[in-house]
Structure 1
Amino acid sequence: MAVWSRLPSVGLVSRAPRSLSVFSSTPSPPAWTRVVSDAEKIVGYPTSFMSLRCLLSDELSNVAMHVRKLAGTKHPLLNTARGFVYDSKHSLQLRGLVVLLISKAAGPGSPATDTLLQDMVSGIYPSQRSLAEITELIHTAFLVHRGIVNLKEWTCSDGPLKDMQFGNKMAVLSGDFLLANACTGLAQLNNTKVVELISSAIGDLVQGVYHENHESTAEVKEENLSVASWEDQMFLSHGALLAKSCQAAMVLAGHDTQAQGLAYQYGKHLALGHKLNSDLQPFMRSTAEPALLHLDSAPVLFHRLTVGSQGWLQQVQQTQSTTKRTDYSKLWDLVKTGTGVQQAADLCSYHGSKAMEAISCFPASEARSALENLVGAVTKI
């Protein structure tokens, strides 16, 4: 489903597809694949198949059969399902991998009795592995839910209306199924603190998606235009689940509040750093399409803050023709040649250094090195 952003007074609209995952694009695929592959060896098994038994359950197998009816349409559920099967960068399971790595990096703590009786496998408690799977299920459920099409924006080229309506029903039902499985697994961990953390992360996701959808149809208010407000919103929709899952992994192992806080900070800054990296990638590629300019991306935000609200509106008006159609290539060039791209890159480096700072407090180990390599991979411009 397309994301729409409008600017006040000028009717500027930018259309762009939803990203499948926070970790769905990387600056150097070969290097990225190597980093992830090395990390998977450390935690004991490929996490790219972490949720496979749930995704291949009888219920979802039936859903998959119905999804075939969407072939030939532009319903986003089809692309989401295709991404689960054909994604070659292990991007869909990154959150679970980070949870497992940080669990191993922290080592054994003073866990509760039921956790203490569990045998660690590759330096990770079974409950922590369950948490990693739960994190992935929640993320997958939200990916599916976000694929619901706004039928008010439906056009004939998207596909038959009845197929789009059917796809929406499948997105709701399959997303609910995954979320229900995650909640069941969460309850089985039998830890109220962990339940509280992950439940609040789900709430953060809902709030973050609501704000994204609200701002995609409402006028962007200049008083809300700031780096702090941008980071707050991006944390809700892109960072809260990872940060709180990392903290929950420390809780399950019985680590103190300091270790919990460091794990939380690592997850938070890693997610924000990668979001900034993803926003910057189009400006780094010569083949990027200006028509897909995200008006809420970090480089555009910094550019708008630099030139001021009036300067930005003047630039937008200068790129418009007599029919009020915007020449996005000109607007793209204005942003790319300004200081916004470099400012976004600096902020990306800042979050990368903060993630490195947090993980450096853990004992030196292969797992810690892998977490450091992940920071380098997701924040490299």
Structure 2
Amino acid sequence: MLYNLKTISHLSPLLRHSYKTICFRSIYTTRSCYDNKNNGSPLNSIVDGIDAFRSTLLQNTPLRHITKPTLETIPFTGKADSWYYALREAQDLVKTDSQDRMMDPVKLLGKDVWELKGNIKKLLGSGHPFVKTLAKHYLSGDTERIRPLLVLLMAQANASINGSNMILDAQRRLAEISEMIHISSLLHYDILDDNDNPGNVIGNKMAVLAGDFLLARASLALAQLRNAECIELMATCIANLVEGEVMQVKKRKLVESSDKSDMDYYMEQCYLKSASLIAQSCKSSMVLGGADKEVAKHAYDYGKHMGLALQLMNDVDTFAKQAANVNNPPNINAPVLFAAEEIEELKQILERNFSGAEDIEKTRSFVYQSNGLKRSLSLADTHVQTAIKAINHLPPSTAQEALIQLARNLGR
């Protein structure tokens, strides 16, 4: 048995369920891999790839005509007992009669850019890693889009203060901008995560172009909102994304020269890389709606703590998925860092970057032997409760109830 019921008895029901599910999942996770083959001259492929980008600006098919969304909303009840139903109830509140999506990325990026995936697939072949990157970030997860959803719910919660449920066009635009900034960051993170693979130079260069293009278009759309405070807030979170990635790349050296513990350093990194975008987007939504500073601050606090909770839950899930892979070291995230605080040998393994023959297997074993998973889930629950406390400062409304319901069901 990978967990002890006594060690998790103090957790909320949803976190106890998540903890047990993840422990069991790690046993049955199967290994998978794929081979990437690059044919032809690398230089020719890069040049052709740039031409493909240019051609997408001239002829196109909108994304909504390429792939039908799987999003299915349901009427809001306020009684959702899982993340799946909490999402769908919340999405039903912010949809419009004229849109088949919660957000329409076509409006932000230009209808033609979505031909990029098809053009690159023809150019490089369906097995090329860049094609898989596009599919992962643009098309998968289309039913969640948690960042734009929170932006729109905040807009509606603010509108309800004045007796309205109207979401402004500028706030819908902000929701799209938030998601595009997120997607551009994922493309750039993939490049840095793949820096040990020199054979993927072409895929990396194409990802740089794609990420930069998305970020540039998102920045242009942000400027067109013509709200100085909103622009400043979103520019801050873009800077935070870069700073957070630098912290991740340099973390071991920086941590050794600072007074922060590894876990404190990691949580600051999580804020910069993940939570800042959500927090600043939620606050910007309130600013665009004319909310006062106190209301905007509550929105920021909700977004910050919701973002940190989401990251911690993702850390636990990521560790479980990687647990069955005997060849690759696990990510150095919350469960591993918490475990290293308890087990000195694990701390030494991290310091030598898994260079020992049995370091990877020992790491997994040490995490399960420690309270690493339990402490990660407990910290996530703390941030969930703080997020709920922040949003409870807003007047009661259906949107506010949906925001509480989303936090309450995180991990279920």
User: Which TM-score tier does this pair reach, normalised by the shorter chain?
Assistant: 0.7 to 0.9
Q: Report the CA distance between 1:68 and its aligned residue.
A: 3.8
Q: 1:312 aligns with which of 336, 341, 346?
A: 346
8 Å CA contact 2:271–2:304 kept in 1: the answer is yes
Q: Supply the distance in 2 between the matched residues of 1:273 and 1:43 (Cα, whole angstroms).
A: 23
Q: Supply the distance in 1 between the matched residues of 2:159 and 2:186 (Cα, whole angstroms).
A: 32
SS in 2 for 1:107: helix
Q: 2:196 aligns with which of 138, 153, 161?
A: 153
Structure 2 unmatched ranges of 5 or more: 1-31, 34-80
Bigger mean CA offset, 240-249 vs 224-233: 224-233
Aligned length: 327
Structure 2 residue aligned with 1:39: 90
Q: Supply the distance in 1 between the matched residues of 2:203 and 2:348 (Cα, whole angstroms).
A: 41
Task: State yes or no: 1:70 paired with 2:106.
Answer: no
Structure 2 residue aligned with 1:51: 105
CA gap 1:152/1:129 in 2 versus in 1, 3 angstroms: closer
Amino acid at match of 1:36: L
CA gap 1:375/1:290 in 2 versus in 1, 3 angstroms: farther
Q: Supply the distance in 2 between the matched residues of 1:248 and 1:41 (Cα, whole angstroms).
A: 22
Q: 2:170 aligns with which of 121, 124, 127?
A: 127
* Identity percentage of aligned residues: 29
Alignment of 1:95-106 (within 5 A): 95-106=147-158
Q: Supply the distance in 2 between the matched residues of 1:315 and 1:180 (Cα, whole angstroms).
A: 41
CA gap 1:42/1:333 in 2 versus in 1, 3 angstroms: same
Structure 1 unmatched ranges of 5 or more: 1-15, 18-29, 111-119, 156-160
Task: State yes or no: 1:344 paired with 2:380.
Answer: no
Q: Report the CA distance between 1:47 and its aligned residue.
A: 4.6
Q: Report the CA distance between 1:129 and its aligned residue.
A: 0.9
TM-score after normalising by structure 1: 0.75
8 Å CA contact 1:60–1:174 kept in 2: the answer is no
Structure 2 residue aligned with 1:332: 364
Q: 1:240 aligns with which of 276, 288, 298?
A: 276
Alignment of 1:211-230 (within 5 A): 211-215=247-251, 221=256, 223=258, 224-230=260-266
TM-score after normalising by structure 2: 0.70
CA gap 1:367/1:78 in 2 versus in 1, 3 angstroms: same
Structure 1 residue aligned with 2:408: 376
Structure 2 residue aligned with 1:199: 235
CA gap 1:36/1:260 in 2 versus in 1, 3 angstroms: same
Q: Supply the distance in 1 between the matched residues of 2:193 and 2:319 (Cα, whole angstroms).
A: 29
Q: Supply the distance in 1 between the matched residues of 2:241 and 2:213 (Cα, whole angstroms).
A: 17
Q: Supply the distance in 2 between the matched residues of 1:329 and 1:151 (Cα, whole angstroms).
A: 22
Q: Supply the distance in 2 between the matched residues of 1:329 and 1:34 (Cα, whole angstroms).
A: 37
Superposed CA deviations along residues 136-182 of structure 1, whole A, max 9, x for unmatched, are 11111112222326786236xxxxx4xx3332232122222211211
CA gap 1:225/1:61 in 2 versus in 1, 3 angstroms: same
Q: Supply the distance in 2 between the matched residues of 1:50 and 1:278 (Cα, whole angstroms).
A: 26
Q: Supply the distance in 2 between the matched residues of 1:296 and 1:213 (Cα, whole angstroms).
A: 12
Superposed CA deviations along residues 21-61 of structure 1, whole A, max 9, x for unmatched, are xxxxxxxxx94332222111101246555313445632452
Amino acid at match of 1:136: E
